[in-house]
Structure 1
Amino acid sequence: MTTPTATQSVPTALQPARSSRRQWVALAVLMLPVLLVSIDNTVLNFALPAISEALQPSGTQLLWMIDIYPLMLAGLLVAMGSLGDRIGRRKLLLIGSAGFGIVSVLAAFAPSIEWLIAARALLGFFGAMLMPSTLSLLRSVFTDREQRRLAVAIWASGFAAGSALGPIVGGFLLEHFVWGSVFLIAVPLLLPLLILVPLLVPESRDPHPGKIDVPSILLSLFTMLPVVLGIKRVAEGGFDLIGVAAVLVGVAAGILFVRRQNRLETPMLDPELFRHGAFSGAVLINLFSVIALVGGLFFVSQHLQLVLGLSPMNAGLILVPGLVVMIIAGLAVVPIAKRVRPSRLVPAALLISVGGYAAIALSGGQISALGIAITFTALGLGIGAAETVSNELILTNVPANKAGAASAVSETAYELGAVLGTAILGTILTASYRAAVELPLGLTAAQEAAAGETLGGAVAVAGQLPADISQALLDSARAAFDSGVGLAAWIGAGLVLAAAVIGLVLLRKAR
């Protein structure tokens, strides 16, 4: 059990061996940002068709609109986690919540795709202040190991709960209001947090934080951004000088970042954390699992709406069983984790998810709504159980005063996974669509450009055409899209299998 020091500013009332009702209420409040982030991710996937029709983005702009938010998060999470250790994790959480709420309103009324991309970038900036703070504050609130394990499981289930709630709430909003309404969900979630966090959650910080190191912050940004940009470019157009150079710049910045952390007396990110096999393994498991999960949501949500013709609400309901199972699995695994070693439990859970992805791949992308519901349930079952175990290992395998930095690494893996999920699987899907779609004669240049970029663009153009030409375009576009889904699903299955192997190897000594 971890015993907080007096310098962590944890009130005596919050230090009993077993947790009080006040602490569980504090957990509920700390889950609000988790719900918000996961709702935002899910809602945006279901809003893609409406955004495509309203703002007419190119395929690249559409991917940028999706990617810029988790890209900014991934680049800034480590810096913000370290900043929270220094200025106070609760203070940083409140600053991020206020900024996120204001920018969400600006995003809701974006008049152009460029405006929306810029707003999403700002949401990423303030969002980076939210996530490390919530997980690291759990350590100061829950001092008993068993209670903390359950609290982390509930916290982790917030991602799945938000993903389950997002399609239903988002589907209702998209059917009754314009697409911008999905961003306004942030306001009712963040207002209670701003009021209740100062009352329920104690401040927590590193008692010996050291100075804020600006070069380390810049190096962390120059590590993440070029690597992701390079991967996006290579995935979209193949290996070229710019894509390879971007990756090399990121790798070079990463090497300089690590060298600087080794030299600093108080590093922004302590390299010693990664010498724990359980910590490194858990982070990698989160990364690979989230790439597969978010990449799957990217193409499944479009298949349900644009290929099978379901409304946003009905498409969301198809995914709800899988997301509910993800929540149940995350909670049910807690008592099992006391008796089964992580090196056995995590791989076994992830193999269930591999089966779900393989079923989509074997169908060649031509899968019914019922088939998606079943396969997505298998995907959620394995990933939900594995991520509860990995998140708890991340939090308990580091010193208490480094909880913010460790939580930031965990969240960086999550957000980087979200970036790479759309960057790799989404870009492969887009490239496959562009190569396979056959446009009928009689389209204008603008219609050809829109229909040839994305499936959403093709559906929008089809509504402007005579019935025979419209049907020919839709048939070709849907077939081209589904041909890419099969390939993307095989890649997703391989990623989850890689996470299972990592768990088998790196979690051998974890208990």
Structure 2
Amino acid sequence: MESTPKDAGHCLAGRREWVGLGVLSIACLIYSMDLSILFLATPAIVADLDPSASQLLWINDIYGFMVAGFLVTMGTLGDRIGRRRVLLIGAFAFGVASALAAFSSTAQQLIVSRALLGIAGATIAPSTLSLIVNLFKNEAERNRAIGVWGTAFSLGGLIGPLLGGFLLQHFHWGAVFLINIPVMLVLLLVAPRLLPEYKSPDGARLDLASVLLSLATVLPIIYGLKHMAADGFEFRHLLPIAAGIFVGWLFIRRQQTLSHPLIDLKLFRIPAFTASLLVNLAGMFFVFGVFLYQNLFLQFVLGLSPLEAALWSVPSSIVFTVMSLQAYRFTNRFGPVRTVLLGLVVNAVGTLTMAVAAWFENIYGVLGSTMIIAVGFVPVVLTTTGLIVGTAPPERSGSASAISETSAEFGGALGVALLGSFGTLIYRWLMDGVDVAGLDPVQMAAVKTTIGGAVETARTLGVDVLGQAAVPAWLEAARQSFSNGFALSCLLASATLLALAAVAREIYARAHIDEKAIAAAH
């Protein structure tokens, strides 16, 4: 049945669909909580496991990269054996991996556990959007459902720091992973009864070669970039990057020959689809990268405890949550394209004010800028999600949903990795000439490599890094160097977002999007 204004009322969702949306939102909430909680737990992990600069980056972003790498794969598997079944398998695996992460005794074990969490998360997070598309046939209801879906992510960002801050204040950092287990158990109990199964009658056969090629494309490239940022430029770091690019070429060639490709490359011939995907990825890239900086800034530079940092972040998290629920009003008022373009400009203004606030180490400016970013970011991401699905042909909406979800997950993880690496380079450059006399060689290396290493070195020397007492000159220099790297990263984000708005405007204009037709067709 076509979803036209005339018959829209005949395809309205019932109680089962809305309850199913609630179950899917719980899964999104847990995924979002896991990311935000880890940001706060970073200082405690640094103190306990003493990871190197590259290991710390891997701990933060391996989860997101594994989700991105396996997301389309798990979507295809869901089409074959049932999305609800894959969701339940993922929930069980997520609980087991959470336990492994909680009891990790080395940085290497935590990285492996986080990788397993990412694979399990790829069975949870990606299935939500495609299930929503199948649950809600009416366009207006689907837009509202996507808003609820986005709200779950924002609530995770709000609840995660609060709960994580409390746990970190009173328990070992592993507790932030253990809280996933009871929630996964509840999901395993209620989902079979409340969530309807969906299985495509002609589900594509899973191509294992494509799965391996996609992973062999992403991970070597990120590995090379991360080690280049942590260890400085060396020719050997270009080898994995070149290998990843080559495998990526093989992956694309294979997709062109398959009747059921892992990624439908024909969708990228649609200008509006490609533009929306690029904007969606860039939005997630910069927001996740900036959020990592913000949490480290609050704790390492301003000396706040994890709980204090979480409490200071509550107002901006509330803005994100409210905007997720109200974003559809902006789209209805201005239309999808104008909403995206205006949102990018607002986002650029927010990152610009964030750069100024970070440079002067002003907490009110940093958190106020986060609220500005929320006002621009949330409508952009939710609207581009709708455009990605809406500009694709109806028979390809499932593939478009998977690509959209992959873009969001990959963009967030890439933002943490590349912006984090950029900040590390700035930090190392600014700290190169700082006087660290009195420290042994190991301490000198730690201080000049990362802000976390500098703060932890100060703690081992008996410095009250959370108090108001005088601190060594090298620690003040480390904090200023980190703040400057934070500011320059935000400045880069602002310029890129403005450039992206100009490019997107031209692409959307040439695409001649019929926004009313999108609603009628889907």
**Residue 474 in structure 1 maps to residue 470 in structure 2:** no
The CA deviation at 1:470 is 4.8
- State whether residues 289 and 412 of structure 2, in contact with CA within 8 Å, keep that contact through their aligned partners in structure 1: yes
Task: Map Cα deviations across residues 97-140 of structure 1 (whole Å, 9 max, x no partner).
Answer: 11011110111111111110110011111111112211111122
**Residue 353 in structure 1 maps to residue 351 in structure 2:** no
Map of 1:223-238 to 2, 5 A cutoff?
223-236=217-230
2:492 is aligned to 491
The CA deviation at 1:466 is 5.9
Residue type of the alignment partner of 2:275: G
1:332 is aligned to 326
Map of 1:251-266 to 2, 5 A cutoff?
251-266=245-260
Task: Map Cα deviations across residues 249-308 of structure 1 (whole Å, 9 max, x no partner).
Answer: 323222222222222222222212222223222221121111101110111111111111
- The CA RMSD over aligned residues, in Å, is 2.2
Shift of the 389–171 alpha-carbon distance from structure 1 to 2, 3 Å rule, reads: same
- State whether residues 326 and 385 of structure 1, in contact with CA within 8 Å, keep that contact through their aligned partners in structure 2: no
1:441 is aligned to 437
- CA–CA distance in structure 1, aligned partners of residues 306 and 133 of structure 2: 38
- State whether residues 43 and 452 of structure 2, in contact with CA within 8 Å, keep that contact through their aligned partners in structure 1: yes
Residue type of the alignment partner of 1:457: G
Extract unaligned runs of 5+ from structure 1. 4-14
The CA deviation at 1:238 is 5.8
Map of 1:88-487 to 2, 5 A cutoff?
88-236=82-230, 240-363=234-357, 365-398=359-392, 402-437=396-431, 438-465=434-461, 470-487=471-488
- State whether residues 439 and 476 of structure 1, in contact with CA within 8 Å, keep that contact through their aligned partners in structure 2: no
2:37 is aligned to 43
The CA deviation at 1:237 is 5.2
- State whether residues 101 and 187 of structure 1, in contact with CA within 8 Å, keep that contact through their aligned partners in structure 2: yes
Deviates further, 474-483 or 449-458: 449-458
- CA–CA distance in structure 2, aligned partners of residues 80 and 405 of structure 1: 12
Residue type of the alignment partner of 2:426: S
- CA–CA distance in structure 1, aligned partners of residues 128 and 83 of structure 2: 8
- State whether residues 30 and 193 of structure 1, in contact with CA within 8 Å, keep that contact through their aligned partners in structure 2: no
2:520 is aligned to none
Shift of the 323–364 alpha-carbon distance from structure 1 to 2, 3 Å rule, reads: closer
- State whether residues 13 and 136 of structure 2, in contact with CA within 8 Å, keep that contact through their aligned partners in structure 1: yes
Residue type of the alignment partner of 2:479: R
- State whether residues 40 and 164 of structure 2, in contact with CA within 8 Å, keep that contact through their aligned partners in structure 1: yes
1:129 partner SS: coil
The CA deviation at 1:389 is 0.6
The CA deviation at 1:242 is 3.3
Between the two proteins, the alignment pairs up a number of residues equal to 500
1:338 partner SS: helix
- CA–CA distance in structure 1, aligned partners of residues 219 and 49 of structure 2: 26
Extract unaligned runs of 5+ from structure 2. 4-8, 464-468, 516-522
The CA deviation at 1:185 is 2.4
1:501 is aligned to 502
- State whether residues 331 and 379 of structure 2, in contact with CA within 8 Å, keep that contact through their aligned partners in structure 1: no
Task: Map Cα deviations across residues 12-35 of structure 1 (whole Å, 9 max, x no partner).
Answer: xxx952222332221111011211
Residue type of the alignment partner of 2:482: F
- State whether residues 2 and 144 of structure 1, in contact with CA within 8 Å, keep that contact through their aligned partners in structure 2: no
Task: Map Cα deviations across residues 151-182 of structure 1 (whole Å, 9 max, x no partner).
Answer: 01110122211111111111111111111111
- State whether residues 284 and 502 of structure 1, in contact with CA within 8 Å, keep that contact through their aligned partners in structure 2: no
Residue type of the alignment partner of 1:272: K
- CA–CA distance in structure 2, aligned partners of residues 211 and 465 of structure 1: 59
Shift of the 485–297 alpha-carbon distance from structure 1 to 2, 3 Å rule, reads: same
Residue type of the alignment partner of 2:12: R
- State whether residues 132 and 404 of structure 1, in contact with CA within 8 Å, keep that contact through their aligned partners in structure 2: no
- CA–CA distance in structure 2, aligned partners of residues 162 and 449 of structure 1: 36
The CA deviation at 1:313 is 1.8
1:291 partner SS: helix
Residue type of the alignment partner of 2:267: L
Shift of the 420–396 alpha-carbon distance from structure 1 to 2, 3 Å rule, reads: same
The CA deviation at 1:399 is 5.2
- CA–CA distance in structure 2, aligned partners of residues 424 and 82 of structure 1: 29
- State whether residues 90 and 203 of structure 1, in contact with CA within 8 Å, keep that contact through their aligned partners in structure 2: yes
TM-score by length of 1: 0.92
The CA deviation at 1:354 is 0.8
Deviates further, 244-253 or 349-358: 244-253
- CA–CA distance in structure 1, aligned partners of residues 353 and 174 of structure 2: 35
- CA–CA distance in structure 1, aligned partners of residues 496 and 179 of structure 2: 32
- CA–CA distance in structure 1, aligned partners of residues 145 and 166 of structure 2: 31
Residue type of the alignment partner of 1:385: P
Residue type of the alignment partner of 1:388: L
Residue type of the alignment partner of 2:105: P
1:6 is aligned to none
- State whether residues 358 and 366 of structure 2, in contact with CA within 8 Å, keep that contact through their aligned partners in structure 1: no
- State whether residues 342 and 507 of structure 1, in contact with CA within 8 Å, keep that contact through their aligned partners in structure 2: no
- CA–CA distance in structure 2, aligned partners of residues 192 and 16 of structure 1: 33
The CA deviation at 1:195 is 1.7
